[in-house]
Amino acid sequence: MQYGAAIAMTKYFAKRSMEDSSFKHFEDTSEEGEISNVVWTDAKMIASYARFGDVVIFDATFGTNNEKWAVGTFVGFNHLREIVIFGAALMCDQNIESFEWVFTKFLEAHGGKKCITMFTDQDAAIASALEKIMPDTKHGLCTWHINKNCVKHLSKLNDEDNHITKKFNACLYKYEEEKKFEDAINFLMEQVDDEGKKWLDFIYKSKEKWMYCFMKDVYTLGIRSTQSSESFNSILKAYLNCKLDVCRFMEQFDTVLEQNHEKEIKSEYAMRSKLPRLKFKMPILCEASNLYTPKVFELFQAEVELFMLSHIECLEGNTYTVGKFAIDNETPCKSRQVIWNREDQMISCSCKKFERVDILCWHVLKVLDREDIKVIPPRYILNRWTKAAKDVAVMDIEGRRVIGDHMLDVRNRKADMVRIGDSIFDEAAYIEEDTHFVRNMLLEMQQKYQQYKEKRNGGEGNPTTEHSLHLKKKNSGDRRSKRIPSCIEKKKRAKKAKNKTISNSQDLIRTSINPSQDISEGNFGCFSDLEDL
């Protein structure tokens, strides 16, 4: 990093803290006085995490600049099922200690609140740090990356009679009983070569973090991968490049966050200005349309469609079996057992969908319909997916109310000052003498305000260039190497360098020759040997 980058970053954080009272930042300083890791959160991140931080996706694979610092992002879903950011980090060293520090400061910024589930890639350092800092948090691995690695290691063994990757996908998404999964894995072990067995042994060790029979009871909101984080990274790529200094990176990163916030505001407006389309006129659907956000309502309405095509059978007491009719030679769905307690108004299904996503499944809806219950029981309406999810006030770690959009107060104060000024300007504009008087007063006020700002910013708490902090440089052995230029780029650079050399030589000849000398007589001054030149 360039000299002074750490000071510039510290000043930028000080500026953000003045604009946003809930803004938090932490810097990990080494014994040599180098900043090696940074974590920060703003008011919108804190408010979003307090409301929707039950499931978090952490990704640290995006690089920032020539020094190869990594951007770590904590993202999740809001009530609109859109991406929201809970926090960000800049990391120089991606070892266990660095991840432990990042997770610790992330929790500190959010008042110690831990998420229920966190999804990451298959990084052993992240797994070790998460187990130590958040032992009660369920760690899930990205199934998309696992499936991609499966294709890489096992696809060469596929043939017409034995599709190995398809059978592994069944282990990833299909089997609900552990015994069936174990039988399938053992069968695959017999079908693959030594390289395939090595990879299967490696992935089998972390089976509790990706296998469906272990994850079906885990609260995931329907998330099984880190693709939401990768979608956010793809947006970052449009604004960031390897030549940005740390302050420009921060500004561009804030631009992406602001655009994401504006998108959320537009979705909120569309949600409150449009009525959802009901496929059926049913009391439970009418109630859900008023409660749930549009995307969640669509998911709920799809469950209602399925329960319309289902059949039910009462086994004994409060236990029911619910299945789906097969249409047009369709493969019948597996029947589920639903237990209904009339006294406590509690219901549970063996599919565990409500436990994972907080939305009632069609098996439960069928039983409720049979019991002549036409509305959703209150205990199964979670505020997380409702239109009123953001109405709950959020307090920061200092006990202050978090204002999600701090610029709203800025705009209100500006509007108040403009309103006072307009009344003066409207009246003074009619008389030239009054106009000069008001203008002179404004110029005088401008000078006084500049003096006030200089006096206010001259306190001891502001960072100055006298500090000696600097940003730690990444080790040369980092896995993120610079991009190798293509052959076309190499030719263009060589041609450009050649043209520049010729141009410089011609300029040197022109400036070195004395115009007053007679060139025709062979007098070239000091350039007597033009061939050498």
Closest listed residue to residue 287, CA positions, set 187, 375, 405: 375
- SS3 of 370, please? helix
Confidence (pLDDT) at 489 = 60
Closest listed residue to residue 18, CA positions, set 457, 345, 392: 457
Q: Which residue has the higher pLDDT, 456 or 25?
A: 25
C-alpha distance from residue 481 to each of 67, 284, 438 (Å): 10, 56, 61
For 340-355, the pLDDT digits (tens) are: 988 888 999 999 999 9
pLDDT at 22 exceeding the cut of 50: yes
Q: Which helix (H) or strand (E) holds 475?
A: none
For 33-80, the pLDDT digits (tens) are: 788 889 999 989 999 999 999 999 998 877 654 456 788 899 999 999
Mean pLDDT of 132-153: 90
Q: How far apart are CA 190 and CA 192, in angstroms?
A: 6
Confidence (pLDDT) at 461 = 44
Confidence (pLDDT) at 325 = 78
Q: How far apart are CA 428 and CA 443, in angstroms?
A: 16
Whether 269 contacts 262, CB under 8 Å: no
Mean pLDDT of 418-425: 88
- At residue 1 the predicted structure's pLDDT band, cuts being 50, 70 and 90, is very low
Share of the chain above pLDDT 70, in %: 81
- In the chain, % helix, strand, coil (3-state, to 5) comes to 50, 15, 35
Confidence (pLDDT) at 79 = 93
Mean pLDDT of 507-523: 46
Confidence (pLDDT) at 501 = 63
Confidence (pLDDT) at 413 = 79
Tell me the HSE value of 464 on the side-chain side, using a 13 A CA sphere.
Answer: 6
Q: CB burial class (10 A; 0-12, 13-18, 19+) of residue 510? A: exposed
Confidence (pLDDT) at 227 = 80
For 289-337, the pLDDT digits (tens) are: 999 999 999 999 999 999 888 888 888 878 999 988 766 566 667 789 9
Mean predicted lDDT score pLDDT of the chain:
81
Contacts of 365 (CB under 8 A, 6+ apart): 284, 303, 304, 307
pLDDT at 2 exceeding the cut of 60: no
Beta bridge partners of 63: 70
Q: Which helix (H) or strand (E) holds 29?
A: strand 24-29
Confidence (pLDDT) at 333 = 73
Q: Which residue has the higher pLDDT, 237 or 509?
A: 237
Which range, of 199-203, 469-473, 477-481, averages the lowest pLDDT? 477-481
Read off the tokens for 86: 């809970």
pLDDT at 403 exceeding the cut of 50: yes
Closest listed residue to residue 337, CA positions, set 316, 353, 320: 320
